[in-house]
Amino acid sequence: MFRIARAPIVLERLMRAVRDPAAGAVVVFLGTTRNRNAGRRVVRLEYEAYGR
């Protein structure tokens, strides 16, 4: 599950949406990205996750 959002993310709402009794934990990473990397403009982010 993923969603691109322009509005602020409400952590409690996010946790309710992904919580699952079969899961051992829910881990959330919150951060920002720089506008340049290795002297080049950052134009996209790539995300990878493992399904159940």
Write out pLDDT tens, residues 2-52: 777 888 889 899 888 888 888 888 888 777 889 999 999 999 988 787 776
Q: How many domains does the chain have?
A: 1
Look at residue 36 in the predicted model and tell me its pLDDT: 96
**pTM exceeds 0.85:** no
- Least Cα distance to 17 among 28, 32, 30 occurs for 28
Residue pair 37/30 in contact (Cβ under 8 Å)? The answer is no
Look at residue 1 in the predicted model and tell me its pLDDT: 64
Look at residue 29 in the predicted model and tell me its pLDDT: 77
- DSSP E strands, the chain: 36-37, 40-41
